[in-house]
Structure 1
């Protein structure tokens, strides 16, 4: 691992010294330098709001879109800024015209907010959600491909795939999955909420019709910075969820203005990408985080006598580790609260497939000693909800 990361770079973030922050994956954490850039844009806006909105913002936003497009190996005209990946999913689902009986295929590992959006479309259009049950834990990608393939039907209109699943931290075999879907001439939307920053992305080469991702997670942008990429031949039918003045002026233009808002998170994306050069470069950061996630997951599973949810080939900067059997009947919130209130450990705990799992994140500022504290906290926990002083 790169010696200059971990505790040596934690000062770049404003995280409290008295907490163990092992949950970067949920909302990210933004470096101080990037927050300073965001505040600079906000101050500039308030110096003359009219001038900013009419004269400064349009070219600045175009530059931010170009910076992000370069990072994603995409054309700026194929990108629209949104506040989060869920917003990108909503824009696609609300734009596509679904008919009675159309099926929208998701997997059992999918993000709940996305499933809820599909349920909303069900109620409005008569379309039907179909869930491909993917087993967990996983020993390889084959079970994922088999589950999706076996659930494609003549009525499948859209397939929603996670690039990296939220509850199970699994990198999906997108190349194989999209190839199958495209062979059946099905539309594909990829929820890439966790991918930017964690994976080296070439979004157009992925082959989906639609791809949405967050910049505030593993790219460490300010909260509310995300994007929606749409293939050129699909852009005419996709619109932001809020329609405003630029309606019918083009995909990128429509997403550039949906009304008065603070665009400083988007405008800071160039500074966000550049920040990683100050701590060794993004390739080195990725290698550090993925190595740390693997080291921590192996240490925890060994100490607890359990297993990791996925093989290393399906993991990135996160990993899920099954908690010991005595935690099975304890509510996840009780365990989570115990870890926070007694040990100041911030880490997600949930039940999946009937088993209790903890999902760890490995960010540039984390180090192995923090996971050792988690290991010991779980070992010392009696497994009862009343185990508190």
Structure 2
């Protein structure tokens, strides 16, 4: 995204190498201290008020799924890795998070089967919003009263809860003012859920084919333009109200006429997409827009697939993607997460050569017989 950039707060590599630290700015501590029980959503979380009577905006490639894992379903074996680089910027604001055992690491009990959380956060105007969202969004999800019974609603609510909590933090410390896009992917059993607010992107590789699991929220997109104009905003030269080059984001409460208590053209509500994973699903790529500025979705899948066939290491594959984006002169910070669903590398997809049935006409046979006669070979039986 267009902004100055700061360090990502997470070590590059696989998910086992650690998670980002708790943001410890004074306003963060004050916002979530036990002395402010009334303002602390971490004590007892409920769904965000805006979702109580409204339907979550969602798109789905397959019917909605429960969290139970049936014996006949494909059970993914999750392996993940990530990599980030400041790129050609002067500072770094991209942040990522990989948690292969989400429920255990965040204190949720009695959930069996695969469960994981992966996220990328692309900050702008500072790094505080990205750090804040990276730390708090997964916690809002697991503490929501609807989780994991109603995953999509709980995730959507968590996005809005995070946005509201950051607004309160900014009211206590104006130095935190900033914004971030956010994309979260959850694997629960054999189901994949992706929630996106902004221009990060998630792409699923299904037997070599790129399946986009999110939509880029750019102000110039016809859907987003309609929503923006209906909310009292406008798009100028591809920018929301002439200020921001994304149509959805968390934070940015300091930017005039973009957000307010009664709403505004800059939305923090995510779009959700879900699918049931099968044995044809090989891996998922999540990247900030610096990756997608130089990769088409199918191009990224083809590139990552070749790399995984070489080394079968999602962390190395993430690094490969980032380094290739640098070679292609991406002008932004770069962050990529690769999640593999199987233990083996992607198989070679060699299409079987079709059997060709050839025939010869009666006229052709006569001509061939005449030719053989001239050669003195004589009659042949056909």
TM-score using structure 2 length: 0.27
More helix by share: 1
| TM-score, normalised by the number of residues in structure 1 | 0.26
More strand by share: 2
